[in-house]
Amino acid sequence: MFRAEDNLESPYARAALRQFFYKLRAGKIEACSYAKFQEMTGLTLDEADGTMKENLPPIQQFLNRCLALRIDMQDAIFEAFGGFLSAIIEDARQAGTLDVGLETLRAEKFVITDRKVIFEHEATGATATALTVERTDRNDPLTLPRVKSICTNTEGVTLCWNKTSKRAALMIKAPAFMDEDGVPILRVKLLRPMATEILARSEFSKSHWVEIDDAMFEQLWQAEVEAVPEFATSKITLICGLLLPIWDRLPTDNMRIYRLQTEDGERVIGRLVSQEQLLNVYARLGLDCQIEMSPQEVFGAVMEARTTLSLLGGYQLRRSLVMGQPRCELIGASGAALPGLKAMGCFTEVIQWKTRVFIPVDGTDVLARVLAEHPVGASAADAAA
């Protein structure tokens, strides 16, 4: 019934209000000037020495004062404030850090495939456990009739395809974002059958996305939709049990609490962590960790999800841009290790007088050989080094 944007007492709304005040003071709000806003609302935003207050008016006071203004001024101010709020909410949603409180994960089924105690309290014996959960979801691609409905009801829609990947996308306007100087960064949202991506308009204009006609778009889109399997299986990790003593060693970018119920009826509640975050948690706890991931899963995590994965032996895999093209780069290789890595199929390039190691983007067999020697994981020795 209610969206995150509707909660005007959330941290996102407070951040948007602070941004609104700063841009107002910088003269970046067209609705009214800084002095006129203070005069109309009776709010004092400056200290006696002329600097902006550290403790600015709270959101409730801002709303009450604005509701006493003329309707046209209310609309103009709320439109500016709403733009900041929408951009902050959208960025949090895209980053996967949008906090909606205790959230119930839903899927076709959950199956716990592994349990590992990662911490035990000496006095009480209470434990924190990392649960590996296999999650099965029913795919719900954005079908062509729904795309046509979006086109009918949305202004400024563009049909696109990527000349490199041969994929189709629907481009619509995304909320703009203000940089530190108050300059609006215009952005676009790319809707795809199973994904959504937000790009700066300048970044989009330099990409391989180009406009196409209706017939070509429909053909490409329908082909992608038909290729989507009915179900998708993935792995997630929940850290459950005694969390307070290790809270400072858990990720700080997503502190939401999740709950789920497995296929056999077991109920679980805890913190959700990604593979990269799990490796960091193990390292901070001084534990060795090895994660079983196929070469395809590793490529997906690095190249599509843009996750940096640690490998045993002090290596890392990350997505890098070289001359505008994405590559899978192996970080941490010494000069002595280069002949062995080349023998596995890796290739090197000297970029700015530094030798860098890459894995062919289409070389899952090469990655398989690398992972056989250096599996995804972390060790206490590597962390100490």
Specify whether the CB–CB gap between 13 and 7 falls below 8 A. yes
For range 182-199, the mean pLDDT: 84
Query: What are the counts of helices (DSSP H) followed by strands (DSSP E) for the chain?
Result: 12, 18
Helices (H), 50-99: 59-66, 71-95
CA dist 235 and 42 (Å) reads 54
pLDDT reading at 86 higher than 60: yes
CA dist 192 and 196 (Å) reads 6
CA 186 to chain centre: 19
Instruction: Say if residue 302 is exposed, middle or buried (CB neighbours under 10 Å; 0-12, 13-18, 19+).
Output: buried
- pLDDT given at position 340: 93
pLDDT tens digits for range 308-359: 888 888 899 999 988 878 899 999 988 899 999 999 999 999 988 899 999 9
Judge if pTM exceeds 0.75. no
For range 164-185, the mean pLDDT: 79
